[in-house]
């Protein structure tokens, strides 16, 4: 599993790095609403529910500042997080268009959160969380995009669960939708 995480991180960076030379797609004054999550009815810890919500405002072309809320709950672990985010959106070189949809936009982001978690048999903990994210937005229309990103987070305390043990690091893939207005 660890090798797969590093492979996905490498592929994400390989897609994002060469696209830094493109022109802006999202402009100053735009708003972004993002939702990502999952429901697993038969996870190892019962029904697992994950939800990430974000709102961002583009203060400059391609650069946004925003807020986020994250929730996760299952029979073994639950957390609540609230924080601030920033994101830079790259544009692919002129003339590049996907086979369908309107555009592909690689992005890199960073976040700082307050996280409260409760882990069964280990107690509850609060922490400051630093996060980094890289991924790709596939625009279905000019105002709607599907996103796939790799999110890595490091916390000041053990607020995550890995193999039913508390840890201060988390790495995961997020699939979501973003809406622009």
Q: What is the pLDDT of residues 39-52, one digit of tens each?
A: 878 777 778 888 99
Compute the distance between CA of residue 33 and CA of residue 62 in angstroms, rounded to an integer.
15
For every residue of 88-130, which 3-state class applies, written as one string?
Answer: EECCCCCCCCCCCCCEEEEEEEEEEEEEEEEECCCEEEEEEEE
Give the pLDDT confidence score for residue 25 in this predicted structure. 55
| Nearest one of 147, 73, 82 to 111, comparing CA atoms | 82
Question: In angstroms, what is the C-alpha Rg of the chain?
Answer: 17
103-136 burial, b at 16+ Cβ within 10 Å, e below that, comes to bbbbbbbebebebebebeeeeebebebebebbbb
Compute the distance between CA of residue 96 and CA of residue 173 in angstroms, rounded to an integer.
26
Evaluate if residue 103 carries a pLDDT over 70. Answer: yes
- Residue 109, C-beta contacts closer than 8 angstroms, at least 6 positions apart: 85, 86, 87, 88, 132, 133, 134
Contact 13, 178 (CB under 8 A): no
50-72 burial, b at 16+ Cβ within 10 Å, e below that, comes to bebebebebeeebebebebebeb
Evaluate if residue 83 carries a pLDDT over 90. Answer: yes
Mean pLDDT of the region 86-100: 78
pLDDT digits (tens, 9 = 90+) for 110-135: 999 999 988 877 778 889 999 999 99
pLDDT band at residue 8 using 50, 70 and 90 as cut-offs = low
Compute the distance between CA of residue 54 and CA of residue 35 in angstroms, rounded to an integer.
7
Beta strands in the chain (DSSP E): 31-43, 46-60, 63-73, 77-89, 103-119, 123-141, 144-155, 160-162, 165-167, 169-180
């Amino acid at each position: 599993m660890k090798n797969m995480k590093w492979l996905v991180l490498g592929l994400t960076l390989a897609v994002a790095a060469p696209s830094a030379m493109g022109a802006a797609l999202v402009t100053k004054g735009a708003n972004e609403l993002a939702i990502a999550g999952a429901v697993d009815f038969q996870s190892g810890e019962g029904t697992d529910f994950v939800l990430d919500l974000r709102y961002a405002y583009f203060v400059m072309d391609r650069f946004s500042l925003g807020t986020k809320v994250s929730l996760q709950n299952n029979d073994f672990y639950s957390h609540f997080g609230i924080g601030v985010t920033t994101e830079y959106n790259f544009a692919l070189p002129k003339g590049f268009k996907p086979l369908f949809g309107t555009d592909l936009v690689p992005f890199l982001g960073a976040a700082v959160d307050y996280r409260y978690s409760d882990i069964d048999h280990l107690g509850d903990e609060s922490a400051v969380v630093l996060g980094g994210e890289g991924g790709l937005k596939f625009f279905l229309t000019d105002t709607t995009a599907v996103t796939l990103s790799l999110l890595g987070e490091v916390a000041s305390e053990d607020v995550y669960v890995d193999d039913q043990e508390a840890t201060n690091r988390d790495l995961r893939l997020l699939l979501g939708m973003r809406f622009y207005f």
